[in-house]
Structure 1
Amino acid sequence: MKTSESDVVISLSPSKIVKIMKDPVKSAKAVSLVYTNDRESDGITRRKRGKKYVYYYGDERIKDQVEIQRINKLAIPPAWENVWICGLQNGHLQATGIDAKKRKQYRYHPIWNALRNHTKFYRMLQFGYALPQIRLNLEKDLSLKTLEKQKVLAVVVSLMERTNIRIGNNVYEKLYGSFGLTTLKDKHVNVKGQKINFSFKGKKGIYHDIDLKNAKLAKAVQNCKDIPGKELFQYYDEDGKRHPVDSGMVNDYIKEISGDDFTAKDFRTWSGTVNALIAFKEIGEAESDTAYKSKVKEALEMVAANLGNTATVCRKYYVHPLVINLYENKSIKKYLDELDEIEIDDGKAGLTKEEAIVMKILENEKL
């Protein structure tokens, strides 16, 4: 990302971000983009000419080299069909198309991607509000009797929430032989009674050996494993045909059960932040100002062990900076003390006591 692109986003004040983040039109305008879509906006189409593509706006062929260079930089895969390309250089959505698996794909403006990355920590408050409903919907779909699509996707998301295993994708499997939940094979899991063991090579060649005890999920995973074929998570359609799940299906399902634009990554960011709060509670206050730095690193390493990341990656992407700031500024004690005051989870809010404190921090503290 160019410096100018990041500067546009970083210059936004926290109060501005909170105001615009639920409104995509205002969000785009705040960073000098135009909110566009491929249904209402006239776009550019492409046609194959030999080994190259030529581009048309309506019936008129585009010959402007600057415009052609912009389109080429989008790196739209040749396999995409029904390609729509935004006619505006500053459109928030630059291109859409249907990939080889008949899934709709998107190419966004670099500034829009930067904005989404920057606001993800602000998204956590909205995610926290949505989490109880997400969990209710998961329980409802887990109760389905047959291994239909909704049931298997609910199993995958429930496992992801409890184990922090990455969602995975076919590209990483093919290129690196690494796996995530959606690409796991039957050989990667062992079920004994209420216990599930996952053993596989994950991203960056890191081997994972993860145990989970949950009677309902253990039964569901075993049922998935019993489906013919090597893929662990498959579902049956109305005609009784089996299909493997993929990351796109999982993210679409998360959007459906949350009623918002959340993805698997939001679960990891939430988990990273909650685990950071737990880690700071466990390691306690530092004895001196100089010791705080090493204590923060220690806490982040504990979070990294849960997420399968490095401490650096966790701090940059998966732990809300507010929690770290509160610890470094010696202001976190009042929140940690509240953890001791919450005796048991009443189950009414759909959040654990640690999650409830994280929500209180997000609602009351400012970056």
Structure 2
Amino acid sequence: MSTGPGSLPELRDAVPRGLIYVSDRAPGISRRRNGKGYVYRLPDGGRLADDHELQRIRSLAIPPAYTQVWICTEARGHLQATGRDARGRKQYRYHPDWRTARDATKYDRLLDFAAALPRIRAQVERDLAAPIGPGLGRALVLATIVRLLDTTMLRIGNDEYARQNGSYGLTTLQPRHVRVDGTRLQLRFRGKSGVLREVAVDDARVARIVARCQALPGQELFGYLADDGQVQTVGSADVNDYLRHASGGDYTAKDFRTWHGSVHALELLRAGVGAEAPGRSRAKAVLEGVALRLGNTVAVCRKAYVHPQVLELLTGDGLPADAPPPARRAGLSLAERRFVAFLGIGRKLHKQPARGATS
């Protein structure tokens, strides 16, 4: 059973004021079916009867299908509940204030993500190098998804979107969405908001693994044979667990899209996209390029996938003249190293006191 993001010691310092760090390894509240409802048991076995606490638990909207449900005893816990869905995948329910704080700090985390990215890529490389057994194996399939996540910039996927809207992402792709031709992989499917996504991948190892996944029974593309011989599919929660263990940090599939969107925006700017246009038009030209790569609208890219430091640059007069040459670093491309150097300058500038300020 995954220890989940709540078990990472480094998250203690990231918990916002008013919340407390908790782990689902600590004793918690359990639930047991009772007629059409549930009985909730405290860690000491006693029945939970407090109306306020019961309302808090109901507000978490934990699906009836979830098993191994753990509920935090603290209303101020950053992690409120965990459970296993119908496919055995671990799911999390966070405090609303925690989600708000994480959204606000996601751009601040990009430099830390840059440090973790080589570790993630090294783990993916090791897992992809493992022998392809008859059942494929969970780690091999997850590494394949992360490789595609990293190279295609596609969304990770959501079961509910696939079921209700017919829109897909990597973990919800079906065999019909993929064509394998030798070392080449062609993906064609409807993404979020009905946007047609067509992506080509030239990777012999990945193509071979995906072809093996296609041969497995079932509606979903990505799966593996468990020890009992049954096909187990993998979802976004599995991918995020893989990323946490590979990186040693609380990173998810969404961090890849924010990272690549920001890196790509800076590279388009460096390449002179929209250089002859005034500020707003220049920004729009660059953001249109990012939107094309990510399969989003310009508005969404501006709001969610391009670092504010790059956005500020889009309406300015050019790149910082004193940008240092990016240092060589295994696991990061030249464009990524340029972006890291660029973020480093911004962080130093923001830490400097305003001119004329006194201590």
TM-score class, shorter-chain normalisation, is: 0.7 to 0.9
- Contact kept, 8 Å, 2:91 with 2:237, in 1: the verdict is no
The aligned residue for residue 294 of structure 2 is 307
| CA distance 1:238–1:50, shift in 2 (3 Å) | closer
Query: Cα deviations across residues 38-91 of structure 1 (Å, max 9, x unaligned)?
Result: 333x53344444433354544554444433322221112222233333232222
How far, CA to CA, are the matches of 2:172 and 2:313 in structure 1? 38
Scaled by the length of structure 2, the TM-score of the pair is 0.84
How far, CA to CA, are the matches of 1:238 and 1:70 in structure 2? 39
Query: Cα deviations across residues 94-133 of structure 1 (Å, max 9, x unaligned)?
Result: 2223332233322111111111111111221111111122
- Contact kept, 8 Å, 1:141 with 1:150, in 2: the verdict is yes
How far, CA to CA, are the matches of 1:250 and 1:296 in structure 2? 33
The aligned residue for residue 135 of structure 1 is 121
**The one of 153, 159, 169 aligned to 1:180:** 169
- Contact kept, 8 Å, 2:223 with 2:234, in 1: the verdict is yes
| CA distance 1:64–1:214, shift in 2 (3 Å) | closer
The aligned residue for residue 327 of structure 1 is 314
Query: Cα deviations across residues 199-250 of structure 1 (Å, max 9, x unaligned)?
Result: 1111121111112223333333333333444532222335654332222222
1:32-51 alignment, distance < 5 Å: 32-40=18-26, 42-51=27-36
The yes-or-no answer on 1:352 pairing with 2:333 is yes
How far, CA to CA, are the matches of 1:36 and 1:22 in structure 2? 10
1:1-40 alignment, distance < 5 Å: 23-28=10-15, 30-40=16-26
The aligned residue for residue 67 of structure 2 is 81
The yes-or-no answer on 1:363 pairing with 2:344 is yes
1:1-367 alignment, distance < 5 Å: 23-28=10-15, 30-40=16-26, 42-57=27-42, 58=44, 60-146=46-132, 147-238=136-227, 241-284=230-273, 286=275, 291-330=278-317, 332-334=319-321, 349-366=330-347
Once the two structures are TM-superposed, the CA of residue 251 in structure 1 deviates from its matched residue by 1.5
Query: Cα deviations across residues 246-279 of structure 1 (Å, max 9, x unaligned)?
Result: 2222222222222222111111111111111112
How far, CA to CA, are the matches of 1:187 and 1:318 in structure 2? 29
| CA distance 1:234–1:44, shift in 2 (3 Å) | closer
Specify which structure has the higher proportion of helix.
1
How far, CA to CA, are the matches of 1:270 and 1:87 in structure 2? 35
Identity %: 44
Aligned amino acid, residue 204 of structure 1: S
Scaled by the length of structure 1, the TM-score of the pair is 0.82
How far, CA to CA, are the matches of 1:349 and 1:332 in structure 2? 25
Q: What are the ranges of 5 or more consecutive residues in structure 1 without an aligned counterpart? A: 1-20
How far, CA to CA, are the matches of 2:321 and 2:82 in structure 1? 48
SS in 1 for 2:106: helix
Aligned amino acid, residue 176 of structure 1: N
- Contact kept, 8 Å, 1:31 with 1:111, in 2: the verdict is no
SS in 1 for 2:296: coil
| CA distance 1:284–1:73, shift in 2 (3 Å) | same
How far, CA to CA, are the matches of 1:130 and 1:240 in structure 2? 35
Aligned amino acid, residue 353 of structure 1: L
How far, CA to CA, are the matches of 1:45 and 1:142 in structure 2? 38
| CA distance 1:169–1:72, shift in 2 (3 Å) | same
Once the two structures are TM-superposed, the CA of residue 149 in structure 1 deviates from its matched residue by 1.8
Moved more, 249-258 or 221-230: 221-230
| CA distance 1:89–1:332, shift in 2 (3 Å) | same
Q: What are the ranges of 5 or more consecutive residues in structure 2 without an aligned counterpart? A: 1-7, 351-359
- Contact kept, 8 Å, 2:274 with 2:285, in 1: the verdict is no
How far, CA to CA, are the matches of 1:84 and 1:364 in structure 2? 44
How far, CA to CA, are the matches of 2:105 and 2:166 in structure 1? 32
